[in-house]
Amino acid sequence: RKEVEQDPGPFNVPEGATVAFNCTYSNSASQSFFWYRQDCRKEPKLLMSVYSSGNEDGRFTAQLNRASQYISLLIRDSKLSDSATYLCVVNNRNAGNMLTFGGGTRLMVKP
Amino acid sequence: GAVVSQHPSWVICKSGTSVKIECRSLDFQATTMFWYRQFPKQSLMLMATSNEGSKATYEQGVEKDKFLINHASLTLSTLTVTSAHPEDSSFYICSAPGGGARYEQYFGPGTRLTVT
């Protein structure tokens, strides 16, 4: 079983749609959680951290459920420019701050 | 966020040659940097942790004698792929913790290596 699991997609949605991605992690010692975005042939870029209380940044909302070891990302009012691969990332500070990546979920927003 | 640069951004080399990739933190110091490899349509896989002033820590299955890492200063880590073979062709990306409380990491733009 992978440490961080995501549905690979692709999710094909029309502009303006709301789309949600889920992620589960297996290491209960994980301490920090992030969503990164990666465009084709580019490096990952930090989209947002995920806090236990849930957090929102514009059209993006992230949720964390530590008991279920589950992380989500909600994108409202999808734009064409949101098309990318979204990586669920977990950090275990006890393991030298290593990041563990999910396989990514591919999103395609269409006109 | 913090800025990490990598050089070169792409390189084509012949089988058997060595290639050096540089990773620099531009506006902050990084005692630790990470090196990843990403094959097409796959996620990033951690290769090694580069530590300033001490030896790198390699992940299981990564040959330390083939992938030489040197953390020369608080802003520079280098990865040398020695005796490169076509199966080493990949996207190599470095990252460094930006110093934030949540230990988020910032990535360099990556180096695309093609070995012919």
Q: Are B93 and A44 an interchain contact pair (Cβ–Cβ within 8 Å)?
A: yes
Q: Name the residue among A91, A69, A85, A75 with its Cα closest to residue A23.
A: A69
The whole-angstrom distance between A97's CA and the closest CA on chain B is: 7
Query: Could you say which of B1, B43, B110 has the minimum Cβ distance to residue A104?
Result: B43
Contacts of A99 in chain B (CB under 8 A): 34, 46, 95, 105
The pLDDT, as a whole number, for residue B1 is 64
Q: Name the residue among A13, A7, A16, A1 with its Cα closest to residue A71.
A: A7
3-state secondary structure of A63: strand
The pLDDT, as a whole number, for residue B101 is 66
The pLDDT, as a whole number, for residue B41 is 83
Q: Are A99 and B46 an interchain contact pair (Cβ–Cβ within 8 Å)?
A: yes
The predicted-structure confidence for A59-104, as pLDDT tens digits, reads as follows: 999 999 999 999 999 999 999 999 999 999 998 766 667 788 999 9
Close Cβ partners of A28 (under 8 Å, ≥ 6 residues apart) = A69
Query: Could you say which of A32, A42, A87 has the minimum Cβ distance to residue B102?
Result: A32
Query: Could you say which of A43, A93, A100 has the minimum Cβ distance to residue B107?
Result: A43
